[in-house]
Structure 1
Amino acid sequence: ESQADFLLIEGETVSAVGPTEEMKAYLGDEVRTVELGDCVALPGLMDSHVHLVQTGLSCLNVDLTTAKDKDHALSLLAEEVATNPELVCGFGFDESAWLDGELLTLPELDSVSRTIPIFVSRRDSHLFVANTPAVKKFAGALEGESLNDENTRLGIFPGELGYRLQREVFLLISEERKEEGVRLACERALRRGITAIQAMEGGKFFGEGNIKLIQRLSPALPQEIIVFPQITDCDTVERMGLPRIGGCIMVDGSIGARTAALYKPYSDQ
């Protein structure tokens, strides 16, 4: 049946479900009863595509998903700059929801700070914007690249260039900070009914350390964490004690970031 009045759990197993009249057979002094009232109990959800360390860091840094427009986004970053003298990261802006529909740019981020590196990610994580101090600090990630096109002059880095910058940013963040972010992300996921997470970690743009971090934290996290190392070196994966590989297949893209493949050029390019 698709619905039931009671649910019996023994250990980690659902051992019985059924109508109210059948429930009486299971009641006893050793059985703890929880009345749900008008609530409905559903099976836990599995999120099958999560970069858990990255998600955790986005929970700890400036949340730009709430930005109503470009000025609002800049003001949120300015608030963080006032308390964070080292590195400011923002996640989740979406210029397509703003009235002017224009991306943030390097000069605009420079107006927030010309001394503190600022690095922000678009909502799809396919495009990143940096200010002058950030571009200088992470210049090693851009070595060998021609930076004379209009995008890079404006501090806009789509696709692989942006991922390379992001990797350098993440390398600066302490293990303790990453742990804090992962725990927070899992707590938020649990409140939304997510009881299992397929975590795609490591690989070219994130590093092997993220895989080990999730492995170490998993026993204490509230969800079942199924780690998919984003590498094809099966010997390394076996040494880690993991039975699988997997992750993003880098053939997708984002319309907003102009990284999605089209048969014809984008109308604004």
Structure 2
Amino acid sequence: MSSQRHLTLYRNGSVYSTADPLATAMLVEGSTVAWVGTEQAAASIADSTMRVVDLDGAVVTPGFVDSHVHLSDTGLSLRSLDLASVRSAAELLDAVARAAQGTDGTVYGHGWDDSTWSNPVLPTREELERASGGRHAILTRVDVHSALVSPALAAAAGLGSTAVPGWDGGPVASREALGAVRVTARPSDPKEIALLHEAALHHAAARGYVAVVEQAAPQIAGVEDLRILLGEPSAERGRPEVFAYWGELVESVDEARSVLESLGVLVSGLAGDLSIDGSIGSRTALLSADYDDAPGHRGAAYLSAEQVGRHLAACSELGIQGGFHVIGDAALGIALEGLREAVERVGISAVRAAGHRLEHVELASPEDIAALAAHSVTVSAQPLFDAAWGGEGGLYARRLGLRWEGMNPFASFASAGVPVCFGSDSPVCDLDPWASVAACLGHSTPSQRISARAAFIGHTRAGWRALRHRDPLMGQLVPGAPASFAVWRVDELMVQVADERVQAWSTDPRARTPLLPALDTENSPSCLATVHLGNELFRSAEFGD
């Protein structure tokens, strides 16, 4: 499926297109969709000048956009010790000991979640020291907002010699302490960093992603990592397109310009994981009332409303996107107060025109949601958070009590007119777009469920719009649109909605509703090929030419 052949006709399948919801074929000319239509019409236009690809019943959809990823951490997690299945400190220590025997370098581990353990008691520093054999070891919690750190690595990172927020001398590092540990443990060789990016991007392409949005920040991977990432070849060389935000706080337009110039690469804005608070799992998300399982503790505020306001005002005045990582309801209160302060400084029109965005926004009242809509703020959310931690007896319920009900309010965002795009926060959650769509359909709070079509748009067209991409046809398969798509082997195609009362009419062919893969069948959709701007990013061995 290389664009070296000028015309390529895909036929004998199904094409998800609003131009023709019953389309079974698509003609691609170079990097552009030239035509979509029926099999009968495809037979009439096929000739020897074009390459013909038999879809053999497969479905073609617009390619996915992941609006929130961390590529170096994703690449690192792919080669790290997988701790998602451990259910006790003893199991974790055994896994670390086995891994340490096989390496002379740093032991990397990811994915442990003490909320799933029958006895959620973490290992001690001494136990980590013995298990790691005195080596450097960093074992990130599933939310990546805290980590178990071996004494050797803690000492190398300078913890213990001075007071560092997020470190009490025990086995866990968070906040600034975690940042120091990550910097110390992270590979520094540019070639090795590039290999981490390559592994993550190949992983994404094999799952139907044509673009990903890196949420970079000084405390996460650093500016050199960002420069390496954005300096690497893009779609024409066989990788998903990479966009990036840089999460560095500024107080003025001049400072914003200085930061942008100092990066040496083009970013989409000063936004992303510029954190107002932390995570619920690590109890660092900022709440307005105590954690149910930690009385007297409400998390941490990393920024003030005044700082948020100055940052957003500077970005608004410069005409670029600003934004923050926001989890808890009190953190959202800080963000909204900052928005109001920005309006006082530069006016509501400038704030709205900048297209600011907030990452996560898991706890939001109706009044908060109305305020987000009034300021034209986009929410970049992660449906798989609810699938992993929502529901009765889940992590959110244990941490927050009844406050978990209505978290991640996707339907409320939509009804209030708040633009929403979706991502995985990989490596926190898997790069699995159809599982994310399914999570929207099966939201743990029924009133916050949205249809598969709405969720699919949130993972495709909405991702491009949140980036303020210049081409309004990105994320669609219609004549004139960029040829950016994925091919899927599926069990069944259907319309899936949150309210079953809608199902009867929407599946009627006369409704002309495009069909998507059924997500409740035995087999999940399997990616056969991924193409971006006419260039092949991925091809499964089972997908013939």
Instruction: Report TM bin, short chain.
Output: 0.7 to 0.9
The match for 1:164 is 180
Shift of 1:258: 0.7
Q: Which residue of 170, 173, 176 corresponds with 1:154? A: 170
- 1:20 alignment partner in structure 2: 39
Compute the RMSD of aligned alpha carbons: 2.4
CA offset at residue 112 of structure 1? 0.5
User: Quick check: 1:76 aligned with 2:95?
Assistant: yes
Q: How far does the alpha carbon of each residue in 1:202-259 deviate from its partner, in whole angstroms, 9 at most, with x for none?
A: 4244221011110222434510111223335433434624153232241243221010
Instruction: For residues 24-53 of structure 1, give each alpha carbon's deviation from its aligned partner in whole angstroms, at most 9, with x where no partner exists.
Output: 233111211212223211110000111212
Q: Which one of 26, 34, 51 corresponds to residue 53 of structure 2?
A: 34
Q: Identity rate of aligned residues, in percent? A: 24
Task: Determine if contact 1:44/1:195 at 8 Å carries over to the other structure.
Answer: yes
Q: Distance in 2 between matches of 1:243 and 1:165?
A: 26
Deviation at 1:146?
Answer: 6.1
How far, CA to CA, are the matches of 1:112 and 1:230 in structure 2? 35
Find out whether 1:268 has 2:294 as its counterpart.
yes
Of the three residues 104, 109, 129, the one matched with 1:85 is 104
Aligned length: 265
Cα distance in structure 2, aligned partners of 1:161 and 1:144: 11
**Residue 157 of structure 2 contacts residue 180 of structure 2 at CA under 8 Å; is this kept in 1?**
no
Alignment of 1:1-269 (within 5 A): 1-139=20-158, 144-145=162-163, 152-170=168-186, 172-219=187-234, 220-231=237-248, 232=250, 233-238=256-261, 240-242=264-266, 244-245=268-269, 246-266=271-291, 267-268=293-294
Per-residue Cα deviation, 1:174-226 (whole angstroms, up to 9, x for no partner): 22222221111111111111110111224244221011110222434510111
User: For residue 372 of structure 2, what is the aligned residue in structure 1?
Assistant: none
Shift in CA distance, 103/38, structure 1 to aligned 2, threshold 3 Å: farther
Q: Which moved more, 1:153-162 or 1:254-263?
A: 153-162
* d(CA) in 1 for partners of 2:117, 2:197: 30
- Measured at CA, do residues 221 and 84 of structure 1 come closer, stay the same or move farther in structure 2, by a change above 3 Å? farther
TM-score (norm 1): 0.88
CA separation of 1:221 and 1:77: change in aligned 2, threshold 3 A = farther
| Partner AA of 1:36 in structure 2 | L
Structure 1 CA distance for aligned equivalents of residues 161 and 28 of structure 2: 57
What is the rounded CA distance, in whole Å, between the counterparts of 1:268 and 1:202 in structure 2?
A: 29
Give the Cα–Cα distance (whole angstroms) in 1 for the partners of residues 134 and 267 of structure 2.
46
Residue 114 of structure 1 deviates from its aligned partner by: 4.1
SS for the counterpart of 1:34 is: strand
Give the conservation status (yes or no) of the 8 Å contact 1:129–1:157: yes
- CA distance 1:131–1:29, change in 2 (3 Å): same
Q: Would the alpha carbon gap of residues 177 and 71 (structure 1) be closer, same or farther in structure 2, given more than 3 Å must change? A: farther
User: Residues 158, 48 of structure 1: CA spacing in aligned structure 2 closer, same or farther, 3 A cutoff?
Assistant: same
Provide structure 1 residue ranges, at least 5 long, that are not aligned to the other structure.
none
